[in-house]
Chain A
Amino acid sequence: MVKEMIVIENLVHKYRTPQSGEFAALKGVSLQIAKGEFVVVIGHNGSGKSTLAKHLNALLLPHSGRVLVNGIDTREKERMWEIRQQVGMVFQNPDNQLIATTVEEDVAFGPENLGIPPVEIRRRVDEAMNSVGMSQYKTKAPHLLSGGQKQRVAIAGIVAMRPQVLVLDEPTAMLDPVGRAEVMETVFRLNREEGLTVVHITHFMEEAAHAHRVIVMEEGQIVMEGSPREIFAQVDRLKELRLDVPAMTELSATLRKEGVKISPDILTVEEMVVALCP
């Protein structure tokens, strides 16, 4: 058993475009993610987050450096499908990743591709829909669901493949606050209860507050790394990187400037309440 679920060593990725020739979107990224870890990746638009995510399940391959998933090098062509089964991916636009005309058929799509026997598919589909709380929508058409529900179906479609890692590339970017909360609750529960390793890309800083580790990217490199507290305490550095901090952290920084004695690493409303009214 490998303890490190994902090992990235000095990863370089270059895009070739007809207009501007070669462009390095990742410039030597090294990162290790442990089994069961919940990692949040933040960074300004174009900093290379999606490119990094696509390397985790061999949708893109390294130009140099390497990516190991559960010990398998993503460049091993014969094991590509094994890697994709182990690393499930949820994308930003809920509409463009649901394939079938009913919810349960969509959840079944991955297992069907893996060639799993029908009886077992049935069991996995029911389990997966249960674990994202979408059981009662089994026979609904995807276009009749809300954004948050669609993303939960997309997550169920991944869960039904029994992966080790769940990579989410800004899954909440197109959702309203209710949908966002639904999705985050689901993801956190899968991490906590099923031990799924999660790599969550987002630009909502609140979603990073409960992560085990936060990675900050800028111009194809990792520029900050640490616990949410360590990262968000550095308000000025984040502002430099054109990133926000959670609203409560921002408030505590403002209060400190005004002379209120308050801890600099407050992340949530609850913590703020406790800090102000001990």
Chain B
Amino acid sequence: MKELLVLSGKGGTGKTSLTASFICLAEKAIACDYDVDASNLPILLKPVDPKGHEFSAGLTADLDKDICIDCGLCRDLCRFDAINSKYQISTLSCEGCGFCAEVCPVEAISMSERPSGRWFASMSDQDGKMVPLFYAELRPGEENSGKLVAQVKSSARQKALEEGYSLLISDGSPGIGCPVISSLVEANLVVIVAEPSVSGFHDLKRVRELLALRGVRSILLINKWDLNPEASEAMEKWAQECDIPCAGRLPYSSELAAAVAVGEVPVSRKELRDLILPVWENIAKTLEKQN
């Protein structure tokens, strides 16, 4: 089984629209959305009959005011200002460290599991081709530890194993933190989607730094290259120096923006399909060579 992960330092580079396109162009693949913070792949792939599962991560403190003797110890020791003067604990601020529960002289505080979100297993109908889709929704304000990403990934891989899929295409989470690191586990190739701008180049370098650290191979795809042809060229040159192959460049396309705005997978339109197909073929070829 191989996993192709699509990343970009930041959102807004067209990463999700391209991931959805690759999923539709691939002969047979499982789709995963690791952007559990704001999952957008389902908007394009329109899952039918998703099955939701509760997910919890870490702990949170609960204080029983009937037992509390107003000693103030917990409040003084909590480093996260989670306990206010009325001994109310803010779940949003509570880090779940358990310091308060440990020191409370009358055991008024207990730690409980922290409901953090939900993950979904679903199917998406792409012109008669049924694509399994796994995604999740983190609750607002919860920490994105990467555990939910790991959950989505292991459920998808399980399904792949059971039903003989040999390819996983996943939409990575933005940034370079924990969720991205979880996304990278067992990925065979990363497509870095980058925009040719000052900040886009900066983001590209940071992603590559992380990939180098984890020893994961990557391939570069420049999106909206014509916004800044000089920067596109500089990026390609840089990639060559870093031994990163290029999958190609895609121009800015108002057609693509229009398709996505109404929730259509870009490659469902012929013009866009012709544009994206060669890039996908390059990626697929490179992926084949990875182990």
* B is a partner of A: no
Q: Which residues of A contact B (CB under 8 A)?
A: none
